[in-house]
Structure 1
Amino acid sequence: MNCEQKPREASFYYWRSSLELDQTEKEFLDESNGTYLFVRFFDVDKINGRFEPQGIITKKESFSTDKEIVPVIFITNRTWFDITSKDLDFLVEKIAESIYSRADELDLSLANEIQIDSDWTPSTKQDYFEFLRRLKTQTQKEITSTLRLHQLRDLENNGVPPINKAYLMCYATSSPLEDTEVNSILNYELLQSYLSSVEDYPLELDYVLPIYSWGIVTNQLGKKRLINGLSTQVLDTTAGIAKIAENQYEIEKDGFYFNQFLNTGFKIKIEEIPNELIEKSINLIDQKTQSKAHILWYHLDSRFLKNRKILQL
């Protein structure tokens, strides 16, 4: 007897500072079968001893979606340095207050979940974990956390956050500023190594895969910097830039490119995620989980959605 397989659940992150969708983004979001849209509401940093919100989300009047909104708050690791119990209470109260007030102002329908994104370390884990406990008590919502690959691999030192579910960020497998031939956004062999014992992790996991791209610019002294959103398609059609090898380009004329001044001779390496690598990574995750894992795409942006029918799982 043939039983129809349950379709894979797939959702998107939204990681821009203003909520607005062009036609391509709206179509992909509407066709995704996930219940939620994970929206970066704001960041929190500690500057000169003060907690500072940054990049608070805004919304265009034209924005609309039937998805429930999961607020995602990015908190820098240095926020946890030398933090007191009183500071934790203050931070919990202000973050909860800001989430609810912003959702009301923008008329957003919130899910019963708040996600915290923080690259905690062994020295800050206790304060971060205590923050998660207090935020749950304050909001009475399900609190979830992102989980980076290095936090997964070094479980003994990094600990396990006191939550029920984490979102494993299956990207940033290496540093883009190192001299290496591998794709620093996602390298299959490195991902395979990181996931070698993922089935032993004691929390429920959803999996975040990248669809973004960027350019790594190298000057004549070997210093590197990133330009987000660049692709081979963009560089192939930009005057003053020559292709010199696969995914490799060179500036032929001094000038402003992509809102930055680049000199003649600067090199640009494009890192993109081909559909074949996405499919291979999903198959690896499914093998590890022995199921159709819940996939989240990072992130919803029409620049990264061209020829991406594979995302409509």
Structure 2
Amino acid sequence: MNCLQKIIVVFLLFLLVGCTSETKKSPIDFYYWRSNYGINQTEKNTVDSLKVENIYVRFFDVDKTADHIQPVGIIQNFDARKLPVNYIPTVFITNRTFLNTSKDQVKTLAKNVFNFINETAKKGNLNEFEEIQIDCDWTKSTRENYFLFLNELKHISNKKLSATLRLHQVKFKDKEGIPPLDKMVLMCYATENPTDQSENNSILDLNIAKDYLQNLNNYPIKLDVALPIYSWAIVTNHLGKIKLINSFSEQDLIGKPVKKIRNGFYEVEDDFFVEKFYVSKGFTIKVETISPELLVKTKSFLDTKLKNDYRLIYYHLDSKFLKTIPTEL
């Protein structure tokens, strides 16, 4: 091999390494998680420009209080005609719904959930849908009932059925079990409890996520991935009690009587209202946001773990946070 040939080989190897390290392109979808359905022009333009095919729209929650299971937080004014996408009805079910619940109650719940999904879809002009998604942070104590529910719902609906998968359910899959499904969505956020008053970003800390997802490539179900684009505020009063304010950004503090302590942390210097919540002098406000750079790094890490193609689902469709989406993905 002469000198020129060696140079060509080295150059080709360099190109090969460079290509394999790039972030893979993934089709982009969205969750819609607001209780009052409405699509503004910015959101419509984003859906069009990103060629979004699927919107996972939360229809309602299911909760149990005093042994009574019922739908709560039902979406209002849903109209499927507002966007030319495939809508996937999504239902959030609290973990306590499956605690101390009989098998017959679980089977009845599956029927009731499917019936109410159909009612909500029909009312919102969604005449056809192929898939249902269930969001539940199940645990070892509820997995038997939850997995029974999934089996019943899949059988009753005759639809594709998917469910969400949280970080701890990946790391401790042997203890918490594998749902009887063909597809799930990894919720790659909520890495810490926001009430723990940690310096870390509780929405998404990549180092914590990496620890939970060391063995993600061994998870036996096909996965899509949900990434966060939202931000929120964590307000702490004089007694250390915490209030979480969703859909909040640092822009909401412009003109307010606050003093920046350090990056993301503010001290209230005079009383005022934050999203109808009264804050007093001396309260602290921690604003947690997600940067496009963090999303790119997270996606690059996930690409090393998920060898198959997967869809990227942003949580959630709200014009307030759409600038967070990186152009590289």
Contact map agreement 1:20 1:63 (CA 8 A) in 2:
no
Q: Are 2:289 and 1:267 equivalent residues in the alignment?
A: no
Contact map agreement 2:78 2:124 (CA 8 A) in 1:
no
Q: Are 2:44 and 1:26 equivalent residues in the alignment?
A: yes
State the 1:308 CA deviation.
3.3
Q: Report what 2:169 is aligned to.
A: 151
Which of 189, 205, 210 is the equivalent residue of 2:228?
A: 210
What do residues 113-144 of structure 1 show as CA deviations (whole Å, max 9, x unaligned)? 10000111001101100110010110000111
State the 1:20 CA deviation.
0.7
Q: Report what 1:106 is aligned to.
A: 124
Q: Are 2:237 and 1:250 equivalent residues in the alignment?
A: no
Larger CA Rg, structure 1 vs 2: 2
Identity, % of aligned positions: 41
Moved more, 255-264 or 195-204: 255-264
Give the AA of the match of 1:295.
Answer: L
Give the total of aligned pairs.
307
Query: TM-score, structure 1 length as denominator?
Result: 0.93
What do residues 285-310 of structure 1 show as CA deviations (whole Å, max 9, x unaligned)? 11111355311000011111135353
Which of 66, 82, 86 is the equivalent residue of 1:48?
A: 66
SS in structure 2 opposite 1:177? helix
Q: Report what 2:9 is aligned to.
A: none
* CA 1:60–1:85: 2 relative to 1, 3 Å: closer
Contact map agreement 1:286 1:293 (CA 8 A) in 2:
no
Q: Are 2:259 and 1:239 equivalent residues in the alignment?
A: no
Cα RMSD over matched residues?
1.8
Structure 1: stretches of 5+ with no match in the other structure? none
* Cα distance between partner residues in 1 of 2:326 and 2:64: 41
Give the AA of the match of 2:163.
Answer: S
Q: Are 2:309 and 1:289 equivalent residues in the alignment?
A: no
Q: Report what 2:87 is aligned to.
A: 69
Which one has the bigger helix percentage? 2
Which of 123, 146, 158 is the equivalent residue of 1:128?
A: 146
* CA 1:307–1:86: 2 relative to 1, 3 Å: closer
Structure 2: stretches of 5+ with no match in the other structure? 1-22
Which of 228, 243, 265 is the equivalent residue of 2:246?
A: 228
Give the AA of the match of 1:51.
Answer: I
